Structures are given as C-alpha cells and as structure tokens.
C-alpha cells in the first residue's frame, strides 16, 4: 500500500456483466456501462489479467493460436498474460516519503497533508491538451485503499495491476486491469491510448514503486520530501542520483506538525555508468570531461507544464524579458546605454541544487576563483590573471586606472574593493602589496561568529560599501550588502546589488553568493537554505540586447548539484579543488562584451 486517497466523492456505477467462454481457455467478460463507451475486460486462462478499456472506435479483439491479439495496434500482442510491444510508454512516479524512504505504516499513510493531496491531484490531472487525460498506474492494494465512493480517481484513466484471477471490478469506465507493469505500459502505448492519454503516472504501492522508481522508462519523480521523522514499515528504494537530477524544489512548509517540501527529479542519463568530472581544479574543464558530464536527455518537455515552468532559471529569464520589453532607456557611466528597471527580486532554493544558469554557459571556474580571492582579502588583479581569470582586467588596466583618477596606482591594483572591505573594513589602504593582517574589522569572521553563537541576531551583515573608501576603488561595489539568516538548521542569504548587469554580471553574482552561502553554512554546521537576490538598477546594456534575445530562445536544463569537501570547516582553508559541480550541461557560451 502506498497512498490513501480522500478525493471528492463520485458515484460508482454497478454494471451487469455477461461472460462467454471459448475453447482456448480465454474468457471474455463484456461489461456494459449504463452510459458511455463499451468496456472489454480480457481474462487469460493463466490467471493474469490484461484489460482493454472501452473507448469509441476500438476494433474487435481476436484470438489466434491461444494468444490474444489487439487489432487496434498491429505491433502489439498478449502472450501468456504478458503483452509485448515495440515501444512502451514512459512514465513518471509520484510518491511521498520520509528521509529514510518510508512511505506507509500499517497499510496507511502516516501523515495527513492537505497540500500534498492537492499537489498530487494537480500533477496527475493537469494536461496541456484539454481533449486528453492522464493515466495513473497503481497496485491492487492501493486501489482498494481508495474509499469506494472516491474510485476510480476522477478525470484520469485508472490502471490497476493485479495477478489475482479472482479480482473483480464492478466499475468499468475509466478503469483497466493489467497483470504487470510491462503489460500496462504496452497497452498505454497502443491505440487508442497513445492518442487519448497524455502522461502516465505510477502512484503506488510499495512493490509497484520499487519496480518503477529507477526503471529505464521512468522520466521523472515527483517526490514529497517528508522532513519530519515519522515511523514507517513500508519503504521504497533509494533514487539513483547518478541518472536523476533535481528540476524543481519548493520551499518547505508545515502542516499538522509535519515539515515537507516538493521536489521533482528528472532523468538526465540513460544509465549510471557515466562518471562525473571535478569541474574545478587544474585549469578549465577539459573537452573530455565536458563530454562525460553531458546529459543523455536534452529536452524536458515531458514534465507537466506546471512543473516545467517552476524551474528557477525562469525567474531570471522572465526578468530579462520584462526589462527588454518594458525597461526605461537610460544613459550610463560607460556611455553604452541601457534598458533599466528599478527594484527587483529573485529567489533561489539552495537545498537540492545549485543555481548556475543553463541557458548559456557560465564561467564556473571564474566564479570559484574570484570568490576565494575575495575571501583572501586580496585586491591584486594579477593574482587572478596568473590563474587565467581575466574578469577584472578591464578595471585594472593602466588606461582605465588613469581615466578614474588613479594614475598613481600600480596596474592591477584595484584599491580597497570587496575582499578588503570584507576582511579589513576601516583600515587605511595603501597598496595591493602591503600586509593588512590584524588591521581593520574582519566582517566575514564576525558573520561566522554570530551565525555560530547568536544565530537569531538580526545584525549578521557583510558590507562592501564604505563611503570613505569609494574614491580609492577602481570600481565601487555593485553587490554591496549581504544579510544572513538562520532557521531550522538552514542558512539563507539576502544580497542587495545596487547596479545589476543582467547579461554579464548577474549570472555570475547569483552563483558567487550562492557559493558563499554554501561555504559559510558548512563552516557553521548548517545546510544551505535560500539565496535572495535584490536588485536596485537592474539593466540590460544595449550591446547585450541581441545576445540576450538569443539566450531567451533556449530552454533551461536541470541545475547542477554542488559537492563541497566535507572536511573543510575553516573559511580560509578552501581551495578550488574543494568544489565539485555535478551534472552541469548548459547550452553553449553566448559572447557579451563588458561595458567598462
């Protein structure tokens, strides 16, 4: 048993049936509904059952040499109770489980979660084509756990799996019976179901889920993650995370003292043999490693529309689209011109995946090395240049420094920018070579200390904005202010960015502060929660309009998963090789020129 359904009441139909036998040992049970299409249930002599639901236009069933052949699909036969077909229907699993993968207790659900039942109904009932419906596959015990007045589940084709020859079904409309998962998937791949059924969902019970969860035909798993400890006696196997990655994860919610969230995993690989490369370390990821990390699945339109559109990359893409359509034309410091919108927010869930954009390739190694450079307190652009990171070259050049009144500054010396303010706020800045150990206020260590010792403090702040130092900076901080928040063992970060270059800078900034949040969480013995990105002047440079229009044509792929060396507990001890990005297979790089 997997799920107790408490759906809205519907009226069951009691339908008289007439049986006829043939000498080949096949019994045809013809059930005639009071209204609607004819239902034909075929019982094979071995006791396993295959069923054909009544639908208008279904051709007759014939018996040849003891085998049942469905004339409505030329490539499908049923032999000894097992159907065979060239292609089977793929399917998606819907399941609620605890952290130790418990799904039931004493044949019932050990929780009552109205939002979970609502989610289940929406996922399994919603179709893109109003002329179609979805199918739900369940075991016999799951079917019997549904209150009589509520079955079959309305608005869906109910497929019940049973090998019991004595199993009888009074209702016929919208119900079919099959002897196995394979026979059900074969049946749904054949006419008329291939034309009338949009998506197939496996919903329980335990044995059926164990067979389906990691089967090759499983495209997605809609998982209700029960975070609160609940005693169970029925369990499902572990999801194979070498082939499945998160697509969407909701914010946690609490009902009836149970904390839970919804996570959808999608299949990205056909098997688990692919190894994932370490995408940081000695230089840029090699072409070979990129190929190893490439998904077998390229499009994810098989997801229900309501789930597909919940991918958090759409938060960024929709904001870009809004600015391109409605942004105010403004001049700017660089003379390039922008389309601008003021006061925006994006939220990214860090609990299951890492928000590195996929509609274009983001320079992950640059994100890691720059953040480590900030944490070190360095202001020397040459440190990054020596590692092949050139994102600060434009603001560190001789020409640029002279243009902003810093002619006395050595080339590469960016002044008291981010890292200096994080680690030495208030110290007098001289040049990039001097040792500032013990000078100024170390904001980063103060943040970590407060999170560890006073997590409810509302003053856990990291600020790069120091008005007295602005004129000494090659570029005043764009991402200038971060506040950290602790709840339920999770660390979240909200960052305010005064100036947000949507095309080039913001994808980098999302990844950088998400990574910082994950690092600080590990140092403080917490897990990552959310990254909230607040944008002041969110703008698109005129030179980025066409590249962004190109990017908007791309469909998101699953965000990667971030792995951090668990042995590192000191914020100053991290090196690039401590970070492993699993499953990053973005679209190609889109060139955008930096406005200086």
Give the Cα separation of 425 and 465 in Å (integer).
10
Residue pair 302/292 in contact (Cβ under 8 Å)? The answer is no
CATH code: domain of residue 407:
3.30.572.10
The model's pLDDT over 132-165, given as tens digits with 9 standing for 90+, comes to 999 999 999 999 888 888 889 999 999 999 987 6
194 and 312, same domain (yes or no):
no
Residue pair 157/174 in contact (Cβ under 8 Å)? The answer is yes
The pLDDT of residue 191 is 92
Reading the block at residue 7, the tokens are 């759906």
| 5 within a domain of the structure (yes/no) | no
The pLDDT of residue 60 is 30
Which of 218, 239, 260 is at the close of a domain?
239
122-158 core/surface letters (b: 16 or more CB in 10 A; e: else): ebbbebeeeeebbbbbbbbbbbbbbeeeebbbebbbb
| 106 within a domain of the structure (yes/no) | yes
The secondary structure of 158-208, three-state, reads EEEECCCCCCCCCCCCCEEEECCHHHHHHHHHCCCHHHHEEEEEEEECHHH
| Count of residues in the chain | 596
Q: Is the model more confident about 538 or about 173?
A: 538
231 and 330, same domain (yes or no):
no
> Is residue 91 helix, strand or coil?
strand
The model's pLDDT over 480-528, given as tens digits with 9 standing for 90+, comes to 999 999 999 999 999 999 999 999 999 999 999 999 999 999 999 999 9
Helices (H) and strands (E) in the chain, counts: 16, 27
Residue pair 252/292 in contact (Cβ under 8 Å)? The answer is no
pLDDT over 50 (residue 313): yes
Give the Cα separation of 475 and 413 in Å (integer).
11
The pLDDT of residue 34 is 36
Reading the block at residue 69, the tokens are 């052949």
Residue pair 178/70 in contact (Cβ under 8 Å)? The answer is no
CATH code: domain of residue 194:
3.40.430.10
Which of 239, 255, 280 is at the close of a domain?
239
- Mean per-residue pLDDT, 409-438: 97
165 and 30, same domain (yes or no):
yes
The pLDDT of residue 171 is 53
- DSSP conformational letter for 416: S
350 and 463, same domain (yes or no):
yes
- Strands (E) in 381-526, as ranges, are 461-463, 479-487, 490-501
The confidence band for 273, taking pLDDT boundaries of 50, 70 and 90, is low
The model's pLDDT over 206-229, given as tens digits with 9 standing for 90+, comes to 999 999 999 999 999 999 999 999
| 265 within a domain of the structure (yes/no) | no
The confidence band for 21, taking pLDDT boundaries of 50, 70 and 90, is very low
Catalytic status, residue 478: yes
199 and 348, same domain (yes or no):
no
H helix runs in 524-571, sequence order: 545-552
| 588 within a domain of the structure (yes/no) | no
Q: Is the peptide bond before 142 cis (omega within 30 degrees of 0)?
A: no
Q: Is the model more confident about 57 or about 566?
A: 566
218 and 339, same domain (yes or no):
no
| 199 within a domain of the structure (yes/no) | yes
112 and 226, same domain (yes or no):
yes
Residue 412 lies in domain: 305-582
The model's pLDDT over 281-308, given as tens digits with 9 standing for 90+, comes to 434 443 344 445 789 998 999 999 999 9
| 127 within a domain of the structure (yes/no) | yes
In which element (H, E) is residue 68 found?
strand 67-70
The confidence band for 35, taking pLDDT boundaries of 50, 70 and 90, is very low
| 300 within a domain of the structure (yes/no) | no
The confidence band for 169, taking pLDDT boundaries of 50, 70 and 90, is low
The pLDDT of residue 285 is 43
Instruction: Report the percent of the chain where pLDDT is more than 90.
Output: 74
175 and 32, same domain (yes or no):
yes
Residue pair 344/333 in contact (Cβ under 8 Å)? The answer is no
Residue pair 556/532 in contact (Cβ under 8 Å)? The answer is no
Q: Within a 13 Å sphere around the CA of 263, how many CA atoms are in the beta-carbon half?
A: 23
The pLDDT of residue 38 is 32
pLDDT over 80 (residue 83): no
Please provide the DSSP assignment of 331-380 as one string. Answer: --TTSS-EEEEEEEEEEEE-SS-----SSS---HHHHHHHHHHHHHT--B
From the candidates 478, 493, 518, 524, which is the catalytic residue? Answer: 478
pLDDT over 50 (residue 419): yes
Report the DSSP pairing between strands 156-161 and 133-139: parallel
pLDDT over 80 (residue 431): yes
351 and 471, same domain (yes or no):
yes
**Burial (CB count <10 Å: 0-12, 13-18, 19+), residue 238:** exposed
How many separate domains does the chain show?
2
Which of 239, 262, 297 is at the close of a domain?
239
- Mean per-residue pLDDT, 61-82: 34
Average pLDDT, the chain: 85
75 and 216, same domain (yes or no):
yes
> Is residue 514 helix, strand or coil?
helix
219 and 326, same domain (yes or no):
no
Q: How far is CA 133 from the centre of its chain?
A: 25
| 31 within a domain of the structure (yes/no) | yes
Give the Cα separation of 372 and 389 in Å (integer).
12
> Is residue 128 helix, strand or coil?
coil
The pLDDT of residue 272 is 64
319 and 468, same domain (yes or no):
yes
Instruction: Report the percent of the chain where pLDDT is more than 70.
Output: 81
């Amino acid at each position: 048993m997997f799920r107790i359904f408490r759906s809205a009441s519907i009226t069951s139909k009691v339908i008289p049936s007439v049986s006829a036998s043939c000498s080949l040992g096949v019994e045809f049970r013809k059930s005639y509904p009071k209204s609607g299409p004819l239902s034909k249930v075929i019982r094979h002599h071995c006791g396993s059952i295959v069923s054909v639901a009544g639908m208008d236009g279904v051709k007759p069933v014939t018996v040849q040499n003891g085998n049942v052949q469905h004339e409505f699909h030329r490539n499908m036969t049923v032999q000894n109770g097992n159907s065979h077909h060239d292609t089977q229907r793929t399917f998606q699993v819907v399941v609620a489980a605890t952290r130790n993968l418990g799904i039931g207790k004493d044949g019932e659900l050990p929780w009552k979660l109205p939002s979970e039942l609502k989610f289940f109904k929406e996922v399994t009932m919603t179709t893109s084509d109003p002329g179609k419906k979805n199918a739900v596959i369940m075991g016999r015990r799951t079917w019997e756990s549904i209150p009589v007045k509520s079955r079959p589940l309305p608005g869906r084709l109910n497929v019940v799996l049973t090998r019991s020859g004595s199993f009888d079904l009074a209702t016929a409309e919208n119900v079919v019976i099959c002897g196995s998962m394979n026979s059900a998937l074969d049946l749904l791949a054949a006419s008329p179901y291939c034309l009338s059924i949009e998506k197939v969902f496996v919903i329980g019970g335990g044995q059926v889920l164990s067979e389906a969860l990691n089967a090759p035909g499983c495209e997605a798993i809609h998982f209700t993650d029960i975070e609160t400890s609940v005693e169970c006696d029925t369990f499902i196997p572990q999801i194979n995370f070498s082939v499945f990655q998160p697509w969407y994860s909701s914010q946690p919610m609490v009902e009836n003292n149970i904390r839970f969230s919804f996570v959808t995993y999608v299949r990205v690989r056909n098997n688990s043999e692919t190894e994932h490369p370490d995408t940081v370390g000695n230089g840029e990821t090699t072409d070979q490693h990129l190929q190893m990390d490439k998904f077998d699945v390229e499009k994810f339109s098989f997801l229900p529309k309501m789930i597909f559109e919940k991918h958090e990359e759409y938060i960024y893409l929709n904001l870009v689209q809004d600015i391109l359509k409605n942004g105010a034309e403004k001049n700017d410091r660089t003379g390039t011109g922008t389309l601008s919108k003021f006061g925006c927010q994006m939220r990214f869930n860090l609990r299951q995946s890492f928000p590195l954009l996929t509609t274009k390739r983001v320079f992950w190694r640059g994100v890691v090395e720059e953040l480590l450079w900030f944490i070190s307190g360095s202001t020397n652009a040459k440190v990054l240049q020596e590692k092949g990171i050139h994102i600060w070259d434009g603001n560190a050049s001789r020409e640029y420094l002279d243009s902003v009144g810093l002619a006395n500054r050595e080339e590469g010396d960016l002044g008291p920018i981010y890292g200096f303010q994080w680690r030495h706020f208030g110290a007098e800045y001289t040049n990039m070579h001097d040792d500032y150990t013990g000078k100024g206020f170390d904001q980063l260590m103060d943040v970590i200390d407060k999170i560890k010792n006073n997590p409810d403090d509302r003053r856990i702040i990291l600020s790069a904005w120091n008005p007295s130092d602005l004129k000494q900076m090659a570029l005043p901080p764009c991402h200038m202010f971060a506040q950290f928040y602790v709840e339920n063992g999770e660390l979240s970060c909200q960052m305010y960015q005064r100036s947000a270059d949507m095309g080039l800078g913001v994808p980098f900034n999302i990844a950088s502060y998400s990574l910082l949040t994950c690092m600080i969480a590990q140092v403080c013995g917490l897990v990552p929660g959310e990254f909230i990105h607040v944008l002041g002047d969110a703008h698109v440079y005129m030179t980025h309009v066409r590249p962004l229009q190109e990017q908007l044509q791309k469909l998101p792929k699953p965000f990667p998963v971030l792995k951090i060396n668990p042995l590192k507990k000191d914020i100053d001890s991290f090196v690039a090789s401590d970070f492993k990005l699993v499953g990053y297979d973005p679209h190609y790089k889109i060139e955008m020129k930096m406005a200086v």
